[in-house]
């Protein structure tokens, strides 16, 4: 049975929200290789953006979970970059078709998820089922990747054992005292030292907690950067986080 998010934790999702909307035009090529096929797909509760690598597969697959802005060009771009690396990448939509560049509206959308988390969990389960149903996906090699609001949900996929082998958290919310008894997935997390929404001491406590568990969980703290640092891909921190993510997925997925 899924363990619900406490209201305090989900409020923290909002307070830790990325305040500046991403600019996909400013993103650079991450030097992936190969052609990518993309399509909008109906995966059950709503539609998502699927990027596929070359070849018939079966490919390892990723569930990408958007920031509190919604499923926008920034997340679609990431789906394509992961596909260049050989992953089938499904960008899910927890806002049922809406995205925004207005922070107030983004908080309203995230708040609606906060008020009733069950549809979000159902959405993510449907994404898992959809990917497993595809002949070009290796059903045993699924992972989640999320940023900001979505980073917290990526963690929830691991914590609640929703069918992923690894979860990638980019500055996603957590609680160091969480019950992790259901968790089987490995976690890699990227956090900014100067993040005002996620105190660095909490990140260190979370890292220490994960070290008491089985497996190679990895939590990285990046100096002199705050929340949302991975959106500036020309920075050393963003590039390093990207490479660490690829290495982690390549090793454990």
- 142 near 132, Cβ under 8 Å? yes
> At which residue do the structure tokens 């992953």 appear?
87
**51-69: pLDDT as tens digits:** 999 999 999 999 999 999 9
For the chain, domains (ranges, CATH) are 25-252 (3.40.50.1820)
- 241 near 131, Cβ under 8 Å? no
**170-222: pLDDT as tens digits:** 999 999 889 999 999 999 999 999 999 999 999 999 999 999 999 999 999 99
**89-101: pLDDT as tens digits:** 999 999 999 999 9
Strand partners of residue 146: 65, 169
Query: What does each C-alpha distance from 177 to 69, 204, 206, 208 come to in angstroms?
Result: 28, 12, 8, 11
**131-147: pLDDT as tens digits:** 999 999 999 999 999 99
Query: Rounded mean pLDDT of 145-159?
Result: 98
- How many beta carbons lie within 10 A of that of residue 238, not counting itself? 22
Query: What does each C-alpha distance from 81 to 35, 89, 97, 159, 211 come to in angstroms?
Result: 10, 9, 22, 26, 30
Order across the sheet with 47-52: list the strands.
37-42, 47-52, 88-91, 59-65, 137-147, 166-170, 186-192, 218-222
The answer, as to whether pTM is greater than 0.75, is yes
Q: Can you state the percent helix, strand and coil of the chain, rounding each to 5?
A: 40, 20, 40
Model confidence at 11, in pLDDT bands (50, 70, 90)? Answer: very low
CA atoms within 13 A of residue 170's CA, in its CB half-sphere: 31
- 13 near 179, Cβ under 8 Å? no
How wide is the angle at C-alpha 200 spanned by C-alphas 22 and 4, nearest 5°? Answer: 75
Model confidence at 114, in pLDDT bands (50, 70, 90)? Answer: confident
Q: Is the pLDDT of residue 12 over 70?
A: no
């Amino acid at each position: 049975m899924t363990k619900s998010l406490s209201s305090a934790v989900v409020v923290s999702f909002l307070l830790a929200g990325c305040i500046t909307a991403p600019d996909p035009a400013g993103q650079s090529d991450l030097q992936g290789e190969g052609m990518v096929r993309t399509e909008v797909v109906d995966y059950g509760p709503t539609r998502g953006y699927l990027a596929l690598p070359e070849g018939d597969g079966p490919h390892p697959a990723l569930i990408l979970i958007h920031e509190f802005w919604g499923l926008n060009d920034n997340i679609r771009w990431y789906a394509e970059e992961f596909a260049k690396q050989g992953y089938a990448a499904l960008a899910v939509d927890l806002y049922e078709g809406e995205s925004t560049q207005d922070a107030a509206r983004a908080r309203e959308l995230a708040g609606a998820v906060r008020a009733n988390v069950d549809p979000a969990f159902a959405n993510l389960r449907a994404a898992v089922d959809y990917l497993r149903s595809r002949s070009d996906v290796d059903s045993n090699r699924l992972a989640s990747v999320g940023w900001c609001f979505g980073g917290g949900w990526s963690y929830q996929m691991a914590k609640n054992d929703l069918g992923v082998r690894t979860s990638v958290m980019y500055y996603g919310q957590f609680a160091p005292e969480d019950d992790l008894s259901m968790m089987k997935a490995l976690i890699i997390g990227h956090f900014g030292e100067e993040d005002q929404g996620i105190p660095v001491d909490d990140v260190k406590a979370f890292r220490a907690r994960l070290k008491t568990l089985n497996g190679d969980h990895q939590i990285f703290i990046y100096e002199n950067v705050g929340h949302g640092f991975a959106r500036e891909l020309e920075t050393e921190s963003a590039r390093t986080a990207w490479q660490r993510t690829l290495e982690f997925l390549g090793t454990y997925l």
